[in-house]
Amino acid sequence: MDQILNQLGELVLGSVPTMIFFILLVMAYGFLVRRPLDKVLAERRARTSGAMEEAKLAIAAAEADTSSYEQRLRAAKAEIFHAREQKLKLWNAERDAALEQVRQVAQERVKAAKQEIEQSAVAAKAQIEGMSAELSAQVLKAVLPAGVTVTEAAQ
């Protein structure tokens, strides 16, 4: 058993430089590789999260612009609709004015035609009255004997 312990002690003693070398290698790895790698990864995370934040801000700005454009589009549509309504009102007013003018002209023509008819009626009555006296004289002349005059018969 002593021999095993002696061999074991020699192995441990022979492995001490290897252990020291291994510990130095792990520390060198920490200083030379691990710390710079951690810094690069932290910077990368910061840039990525910064880019994500910038992207979120850009999306928010785009949404604001979109809502602004939509609002302006609604305003433009409302303005166009209002202008269209104004044109329709103007056209309706012009049509109503033209119709009223035509009505007035037609009413004037009707009045003129009525006056003309009344004048024709008055002239026809006067002509009929004038002809009735003459016709009655002719009738009396035809009915009365030949020697009696119309003025004597009327008495």
- For residues 150 and 144, the answer to whether their CB atoms sit within 8 Å is yes
* Residues 1-47: tens digit of each pLDDT: 888 888 888 888 888 999 999 999 999 999 999 999 999 999 988 88
Pick from 50-54, 62-66, 141-145: least confident:
141-145
**141 lies in some domain:** yes
Q: Copy the structure tokens of residue 31.
A: 């200083």
pLDDT greater at residue 153 or residue 119 = 119
Q: How would residue 93 be classed by pLDDT, with cut points 50, 70 and 90?
A: very high
- For residues 150 and 137, the answer to whether their CB atoms sit within 8 Å is yes
**3 lies in some domain:** no
**7 lies in some domain:** no
Q: What pLDDT score does 19 carry?
A: 92
**101 lies in some domain:** yes
CA 94/CA 82 separation, integer angstroms: 18
pLDDT greater at residue 75 or residue 127 = 75
Residues with Cβ within 8 Å of residue 141, at least 6 apart in sequence: 150
**154 lies in some domain:** no
- Give me the count of residues in the chain: 155
Q: What angle do CA 105, 109, 112 make, to 5 degrees?
A: 140
The residue range of the domain holding 136 is: 14-145
**9 lies in some domain:** no
What's the total number of domains in the chain? 1
Q: What mean pLDDT comes out for the span 94-107?
A: 95
Percent of the chain with pLDDT over 70: 93
For every residue of 38-49, DSSP letters joined together read HHHHHHHHHHHH
**155 lies in some domain:** no
**80 lies in some domain:** yes
Work out whether the CA dihedral 108, 110, 112, 118 comes out positive or negative: negative
